[in-house]
């Protein structure tokens, strides 16, 4: 396990070693696990391949969730991107499609990589696959950046939470957006400090997000929140690469996220009681899937 207790420690260690955070993480994991770095890289490449397969699965027109509440969102967004009508451009429309696809794959009980959770599984794959497929990034760089995302995720998990039941959706989609933003900055040649800045900006922009799954299922609004996480990650990465600072250090942003999560009422922590789950339509959808209580 990584021994870093803060994001700043990761940044300082990478700067001291004159390497990226991904390279630093890979090196330390290889040493601690007694494995060859090449073998670990190959395993991470296999993880990325699972993400790619999940995208392909979720972009099928016939994709339908186990509950029947959702399905086909990834395909619809992909078709929309092909028409060139996207307000945010074809690139972002395709990225949205990938996020919807992976989240849809999860809702269909397909194979995904929890990055860091199943509820936020579409964010990192959508961001990295978009850089690979649409921005010409090298696959090796993309795979290496997954070690960076993992390192940031481990620090967040230790200092705050990555569970919606503990910290709300900010802990899931917010953490995933921060991890993805940091990884993308590294792929695009940014510094370790810029990776940390991107993570901080992403967390700031997802802070306070509640976890209110309709019918207790990771579908509504979770699937669409993966898209919001992707948009947040891209904007955070671009701001960091432009030299825009978050002003509040990444570790303090993580601590603030923990405090906000602790302050959220239980009804907004994956209990399917409050928020959208508690709306008339949310309750009706629950009855559609599970029937009336007491029946």
Let me know: does 192 contact 11? Beta carbons within 8 Å. yes
Q: Tens digit of pLDDT per residue, the chain (295 long)?
A: 567 899 999 999 999 999 999 999 999 999 999 999 999 999 999 999 999 999 999 999 999 999 999 999 999 999 999 998 889 999 999 999 999 999 999 999 999 999 999 999 999 999 999 999 999 999 999 999 999 999 999 999 999 999 999 999 999 999 999 999 999 999 999 999 999 999 999 999 999 999 999 999 999 999 999 999 999 999 999 999 999 999 999 999 999 999 999 999 999 999 999 999 999 999 999 999 999 875 5
294 falls within a domain = no
Give how many domains the chain has, as a whole number.
1
Q: Which residues of 189-228 are buried (b: 16+ CB within 10 A; e: fewer)?
A: ebbbbbbbbbbbbbbbbbbbbbbbbbbebbbbbbbbbbbb
Q: Which DSSP state fits 264?
A: S
Domain enclosing residue 110, as ranges: 7-289
117 within some domain = yes
Sequence length of the chain is 295
Model-level pTM? Answer: 0.97
- Three state DSSP letters for 55-98: HHHHCCCCCCCCCCCCCCHHHHHHHHHHCCCCCCHHHHHHHHHH
Name 294's bridge partners.
none
Compute and round to an integer the Cα radius of gyration of the chain.
19
pLDDT digits (tens, 9 = 90+) for 230-289: 999 999 999 999 999 999 999 999 999 999 999 999 999 999 999 999 999 999 999 999
Cβ atoms of residues 123 and 229 within 8 Å: yes
What are the phi and psi torsion angles at 63 (to 5°)?
A: -60, 130
| CATH at 120 | 1.10.4100
**Residue 28 falls inside a structural domain:** yes
- Residue 174 is assigned to a structural domain of this protein: yes
> How many helical (H) and strand (E) elements, i.e. helices and strands, does the chain have?
14, 0
What is the rounded CA–CA span in Å between residue 174 and residue 230?
Answer: 10
**Residue 2 within a domain:** no
* Half-sphere exposure in the Cβ direction for 194 (13 Å, CA): 18
């Amino acid at each position: 396990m990584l021994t870093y207790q803060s994001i700043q420690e990761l940044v300082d260690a990478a700067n001291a070693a004159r390497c990226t955070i991904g390279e630093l993480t890979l090196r330390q994991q290889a040493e601690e696990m007694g494995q060859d770095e090449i073998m670990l890289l190959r395993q991470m490449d296999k993880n990325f391949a699972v993400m790619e397969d999940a995208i392909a699965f979720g972009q099928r027109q016939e994709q339908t969730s186990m509950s029947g509440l959702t399905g086909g969102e990834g395909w619809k967004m992909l078709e929309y991107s092909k028409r060139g009508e996207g307000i945010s451009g074809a690139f972002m429309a395709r990225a949205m499609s990938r996020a919807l696809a992976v989240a849809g794959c999860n809702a269909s009980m397909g194979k995904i990589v929890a990055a860091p959770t199943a509820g936020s599984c579409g964010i990192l794959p959508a961001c990295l696959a978009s850089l690979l497929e649409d921005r010409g990034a090298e696959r090796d760089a993309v795979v290496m950046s997954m070690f960076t995302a993992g390192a940031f995720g481990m620090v967040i998990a230790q200092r705050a939470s990555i569970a919606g039941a503990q910290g709300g959706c900010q802990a899931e989609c917010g953490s995933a957006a921060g991890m993805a933003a940091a990884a993308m900055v590294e792929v695009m040649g940014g510094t370790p400090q810029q990776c940390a800045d991107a993570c901080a900006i992403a967390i700031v922009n997802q802070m306070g997000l509640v976890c209110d799954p309709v019918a207790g299922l990771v579908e509504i609004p979770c699937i669409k929140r993966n898209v919001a996480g992707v948009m947040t990650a891209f904007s955070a990465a671009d701001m960091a690469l432009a030299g825009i600072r978050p002003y509040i250090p990444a570790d303090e942003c993580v601590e603030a996220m923990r405090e906000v999560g602790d302050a959220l009422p239980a009804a907004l922590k994956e209990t399917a009681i409050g928020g959208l789950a508690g709306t008339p339509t949310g309750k009706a959808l629950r009855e559609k899937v599970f029937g009336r209580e007491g029946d």
